[in-house]
Amino acid sequence: MAAGDAVARLLRDEGAHVLATLIRVTGDITLAEDAVQDAAVRALERWPRDGVPDNPRAWLIVAAKRRAIDVVRREARRAGKETAAVALLDPVPEPAGAVRDDLLRLVFTCCHPALSAEAQVALALRTLGGLSTAEVARALMVPEATMAKRLTRAKQKIALARIPYRVPSAGELPGRVRGVAATIYLIFNEGYAAGAGEHLVRVALSAEAIRLARLLVGLLPDEPTALGLLALLLLSDARRAARLDERGGAVLLPDQDRTRWDTAMIREGVVLVGTALRRAPDRPDPYVAQAAIAACHALAPSYADTDWDAVVSWYDVLLTVQDTAVVRLNRAVAVAERDGPEAGLALVEGIDGLAAYPWWHATRAELLRRVGRASEASAAYERALGLEMNDVQAGHLRRRLSDLDG
């Protein structure tokens, strides 16, 4: 049984690599998936009995190719033509570097901007993460039939519109890596926002996103975006245990028990931020800047002892590459800590376009409370509660409101 578990883990780790090569060789994602599935079944039968081969990836690629050839031949016979399998049968050895780059090709195909964000997330989890369609559906809380349809449609678009299976050129690379990072970040947030307990399937998405971010760093060790993304995910996930109290209520950053933060993750994240900054000293990257902000928090002994000057400076950097109202709101919170609530409040009230965003109202409420404008603060909490958010978040705001009234 233990041998079987080890094999299953190995198969999952190798699965994406093998699939990536098979997609290049066959030019058909569905056929490649079938072939890799078949090879994995054979490995599960044989390896626990005969031992794991010296080069499991090569073994799996050979087995999967053999299966793909069988399928193509069968199809060809049925259609009355024999030419289709010829390319697959070609005994020419794989060109140097081709296999190494296959996974990278798959990453960029799954996260191609011509696919919708939800299709990218589903494809990344299915092909790169090796989750089954049922597992992807459960994690994203979508009926399995819907997920199957979504995946089929995405694969069809890749095939019919000829989304290329290729690593982007050096010029396109930074933009495309940011697209991949956005997809992985979306997967992370699906898990991060889920809370805990009954949502364990979704929490696993955060771990899956960290795994994918590690994969990206392994493939592109010099890309600041990849390093920044992994750092940001680790530094955020390090706070997981402190984010909820024993009744499942939200605990925000100021009130978190910092002894419950994961110090190993923080250490790794901080080192990655340093590496990313050395890779791109003059060109700020939004993920690196956000990771740097997260590192400031992670390294502070307490909320009050946070280096707010550094946090505000990093938000200024972030604004140069990602000037959004939400980033401005977060910067205003840091300014409030550094210069006092009046200064923060003035900035918050100067931000346009967040009337439908509950955290704009909640932040305004908190700052109004601090400057002693209690009735306006109550009204702002009420406004926030009138907008859409999850139960944990709403519970937190209701407690703040009742503290104020009481």
Residues interacting with other proteins, by CB under 8 A? 112, 114, 160-164, 166
Nearer to other proteins among residue 65 and residue 112 (C-beta): 112
CA distance from start to end of the chain: 59
Q: How far is the CB of 115 from other proteins (least distance, A)?
A: 11
Nearer to other proteins among residue 164 and residue 248 (C-beta): 164
Nearer to other proteins among residue 171 and residue 281 (C-beta): 171
Q: How far is the CA of 108 from the CAs of 48, 123, 226, 393, in angstroms? A: 34, 11, 13, 35
- Encoded tokens for 396: 């937190």
Nearer to other proteins among residue 161 and residue 355 (C-beta): 161
Classify residue 129 as exposed, middle or buried by CB count within 10 Å of its CB (0-12, 13-18, 19+): buried
State the Cα–Cα distance between residues 47 and 406, nearest whole angstrom: 66
Q: How far is the CB of 387 from other proteins (least distance, A)?
A: 29
Q: How far is the CB of 165 from other proteins (least distance, A)?
A: 9
Nearer to other proteins among residue 114 and residue 355 (C-beta): 114
Q: How far is the CA of 299 from the CAs of 108, 192, 260, 338, in angstroms? A: 34, 21, 13, 17
State the Cα–Cα distance between residues 234 and 266, nearest whole angstrom: 7
State the Cα–Cα distance between residues 165 and 153, nearest whole angstrom: 17
Nearer to other proteins among residue 163 and residue 351 (C-beta): 163
Q: What is the largest CA-CA distance in the chain?
A: 83
Q: How far is the CB of 112 from other proteins (least distance, A)?
A: 8
Nearer to other proteins among residue 171 and residue 301 (C-beta): 171
Q: How far is the CB of 177 from other proteins (least distance, A)?
A: 15
Q: How far is the CB of 162 from other proteins (least distance, A)?
A: 4
Q: How far is the CB of 114 from other proteins (least distance, A)?
A: 6
Contact assessment for residue 377 and residue 404, using Cβ atoms and an 8 Å cutoff: yes
Residues comprising the chain, all counted: 406
Please provide the DSSP assignment of 78-131 as one string. Answer: HHT--GGGHHHH--PPPPTTHHHHHHHHHHHHHT-TTS-HHHHHHHIIIIIS--
Classify residue 324 as exposed, middle or buried by CB count within 10 Å of its CB (0-12, 13-18, 19+): middle
158: β partners? none
Q: How far is the CB of 100 from other proteins (least distance, A)?
A: 21
Nearer to other proteins among residue 6 and residue 159 (C-beta): 159
CB atoms within 10 A of CB 2: 7
Q: DSSP character for 145?
A: H
Contact assessment for residue 194 and residue 203, using Cβ atoms and an 8 Å cutoff: yes
Q: How far is the CB of 267 from other proteins (least distance, A)?
A: 40
Nearer to other proteins among residue 147 and residue 180 (C-beta): 180
φ/ψ (deg, to 5) at 250 = -75, 135
Q: Spell out the residues 6+ positions from residue 146 whose beta carbon is closer than 8 angstroms to its own.
A: 137
Nearer to other proteins among residue 171 and residue 386 (C-beta): 171
Q: How far is the CB of 215 from other proteins (least distance, A)?
A: 23
